[in-house]
Amino acid sequence: MTNFPNKSTDTVWHRATVTRERREQKNTHKSVVLWFTGLSGSGKSTLAHAVEEQLYQIGLNTFVLDGDNVRHGLCCDLGFSDKDRKENIRRIGETAKLLLEAGVISLTAFISPFKAERAIAKSLMPPGDFIEIYCFCPLAVCEQRDVKGLYKKARLGEIKDFTGISSPYEAPDDPDLRLDTHELTLEQSVQQVIALLHSRNILA
């Protein structure tokens, strides 16, 4: 269900005969949500897509929900105020939940700066099905990378509510996996994620 009030009062939940368990059986693997969080430039998207590529190569059903990509469609009506950021994460959490039920391994790459919203997203999933992966990279290194030129614009005041500069990032207290992406190679980070999936019996 959801943690938000449902304004559609005349709807009834329909229980499908094709369940998540049956879909997982058909897919021959379990579904899970890999939630990558961290500052802009910390390597979330690059890592999520690299992990997906490896999983895809061994025949698993996967999908990456990328922060920039969803703002071209599902969340194109949202800005970057705290309110809009919260709604953005709410929508992604619900989408990831649908993919979980579809038997897919979804990988979300979002800054998702607020602990409360990440907690809400996690609460949508059954225990153990939400794996929080913290891509840690010092702000100074992220700024040095400035892959999209956003930090420069934020420092000049051209972008408001920019995480790490004019808006806070609340780091996870106890992530399932922390990756120091400024010290690890991409391949090392990918292998740590894969190892975690093996340890959780997501991968055989």
pLDDT at position 4 is 54
pLDDT at position 10 is 67
Residuewise pLDDT in 10s, the chain (204 residues): 445 566 666 666 667 788 989 999 999 899 999 999 999 999 999 999 999 999 999 999 999 998 788 888 888 998 888 888 889 889 999 999 999 999 999 999 999 999 999 999 999 999 999 999 999 999 999 999 988 899 999 999 999 889 999 999 999 999 999 999 999 999 999 999 999 999 999 987
pLDDT at position 79 is 86
Q: What token pair was written down for 177?
A: 């996996």
pLDDT at position 36 is 98
Return the DSSP state at 126: P
pLDDT at position 6 is 60
Q: What does the buried/exposed string (b/e) look like for 126-138 if buried means 16 or more CB atoms within 10 Å of the residue's CB? A: eeebbbbbbbbbe
Q: Cα(46)–Cα(41) distance, rounded to whole angstroms? A: 9
Q: Which residues contact 89 (CB under 8 A, 6 or more apart)?
A: 110, 112, 114, 117, 118, 120, 121
pLDDT at position 11 is 66
Mind telling me the catalytic residues?
112
Q: Cα(123)–Cα(127) distance, rounded to whole angstroms? A: 8
Q: Is this structure's pTM higher than 0.85?
A: yes
- Domains, the chain, in order of start with CATH, read 20-199 (3.40.50.300)
The CA-CA-CA angle for residues 22, 100, 23, to 5°, reads 15
Taking the C-alpha atoms of 76, 81, 86 and 88 in order, what is their torsion angle to the nearest 10 degrees? 10
Per-residue pLDDT tens over the stretch 49-78:
999 999 999 999 999 998 788 888 888 998
- Taking CA atoms, 14 is separated from 17, 19, 72, 102, 124, in Å, by 10, 12, 30, 15, 18
Q: Cα(95)–Cα(164) distance, rounded to whole angstroms? A: 26
Helix (DSSP H) and strand (DSSP E) numbers for the chain: 8, 5
